[in-house]
Amino acid sequence: MTNLSNRGRMLKPSVTLELSALARGLQDAGRPVINLTAGEPDFPTPELVVEAAHHALREKKHFWYTPTPGVKPLREKIAQVYAQRLGVPFTFDQTVVTNGAKQALFDALAAVTDPGDRVGILTPYWVTYVEQARILGCEPVEIPCPADGGFRPDLEVLERELGRGLRVLMVNSPCNPTGAAFGRRDWEPILDLVARSQTLILSDEIYEDIVFSDEGHVSPLHVRPELADRTCVVSGLSKAFAMTGWRIGYAMGPADWIRAMSALQGHTTSNINAVTQQAALVALDHRELIGPMVEKFAARRSLVLQRLAQLPMVSAHEPEGTFYIYLDVTKPMQSRGDDTSSLARWLLEEHAVAVIPGVAFGDDTHLRLSFAASEATLNEAWDRLANAFAMAVRPAVG
């Protein structure tokens, strides 16, 4: 037995990645499982982007280390695109290209926290935030976002925790898992509280292009650009460009914060894959490729919202963004004596539908279902769910 460190013992695998691998494994073994765990688009990466990678290989742009924070044209492109999108004059030295948004989040946290620091996390949260804070020896501080308030943060708790001192507040709109996307009126009171503190903002905007509300994506920097000197924005191409496997994310922020992230990357993973960087340059020049995919997500969202009515005793907040629907399963859980893990296991084992239990997101009342699947798959999945939940709420006979 290896004598693991305290950190090594504490590390937990990503529940989302584990369950999605389990569902895929069952499918590969011939089980008729429908996998709604996946936090990834079901489309292939657009052909133009794939061709850019082929071109980079043919042009032999693949066999050197690139500069650690990314090749200059890509950093310049990111700075230009996000200066325009966010209305903040980013320059290329305020950007770093990372192995997915996940690494950007970790490096950003590592660059500004010391062990023992308190990190504010809006809850329900994406599973990785809490684990990253813990790996760094920080204390995750949950700020509840109640379902009956549309998953907006409880401002009293936020104010209290800011008063006790938070080194960083992690925010994520559109939100995985809840699908909530904050508008200007949601952000204003949150950012006014933050502005009165010393707290830094780490804004995960990876779902920025998958938004269904009329207001569109609203970043904290749209609302309070004066907070740019203490905000790091993280995004990437994984979701909107269907590029999860390419591992491309990036961050924009104050130059010293970004420099520290780049130094950390230089000692952990070096630069990201050189070919991916060339493909990313082309993707960022062709944002029109996103439109048709987002239209498909919108149609699927309508489909699952229609089908929701057929699930007895189950409700959901209408997702304003992302490709997840977050089902409140409190009543069927009570009727079966389950928690979200056992309910999810029952759905997988007895009804062949794989979903993520809310407990992974710090909330034991909901299940997260992806609608990044074909309409036929979604229809079949929701038939199975309707059947399962009808059984769950039927009174026991005898």
Please pick, from the candidates 186, 204, 320, 338, the single residue that binds ligand PMP as defined by CB under 6 A: 204
45 binds, among ligand GLU, ligand PMP, none (CB under 5 to 8 A by kind): none
Please pick, from the candidates 14, 80, 269, 365, the single residue that binds ligand GLU as defined by CB under 6 A: 14
41 binds, among ligand PMP, ligand GLU, none (CB under 5 to 8 A by kind): none
253 binds, among ligand GLU, ligand PMP, none (CB under 5 to 8 A by kind): none
x/- mask, ligand GLU, residues 150-189, rule CB under 6 A, reads --------------------------x-------------
Site for ligand PMP in 180-199 (CB under 6 A): none
Cα–Cα distances in angstroms (integers) from residue 237 to residues 41, 133, 279, 280, in the given order:
11, 24, 10, 8
By CB under 6 A, is residue 206 in contact with ligand PMP? Answer: yes
Q: Which residue is nearest to ligand PMP (CB)?
A: 100
Region near ligand PMP per CB under 6 A, out of 57-65, 100-108, 179-187, 224-232: 100-108
By CB under 6 A, is residue 359 in contact with ligand PMP? Answer: no
**Cα pseudo-dihedral 100, 106, 108, 110, rounded to 10:** -150
Q: List, edge to edge, every strand of the sheet that includes 324-328.
A: 315-316, 324-328, 366-370, 356-357
Task: Kindly tell me which of 220 and 332 has the beta carbon lying closer to ligand PMP.
Answer: 220
Task: Kindly tell me which of 120 and 332 has the beta carbon lying closer to ligand PMP.
Answer: 120
83 binds, among ligand PMP, ligand GLU, none (CB under 5 to 8 A by kind): none
Least distance from ligand GLU to the Cβ atom of residue 360, Å: 9
The amino acid present at 67, given as its one-letter code, is P
By CB under 6 A, is residue 24 in contact with ligand GLU? Answer: no
Task: Kindly tell me which of 207 and 212 has the beta carbon lying closer to ligand GLU.
Answer: 207
Please pick, from the candidates 236, 319, 357, 358, the single residue that binds ligand PMP as defined by CB under 6 A: 236
By CB under 6 A, is residue 109 in contact with ligand PMP? Answer: no
Site for ligand PMP in 36-65 (CB under 6 A): 39
β-sheet bridge partners, residue 34? 353
By CB under 6 A, is residue 240 in contact with ligand PMP? Answer: no
> Which residue ranges make up the site for ligand PMP (CB under 6 A)?
39, 100-102, 126, 172, 176, 204, 206, 236, 238, 244, 249
- The site for ligand GLU (CB under 6 A) is made up of 14, 16-17, 39, 126, 128, 176
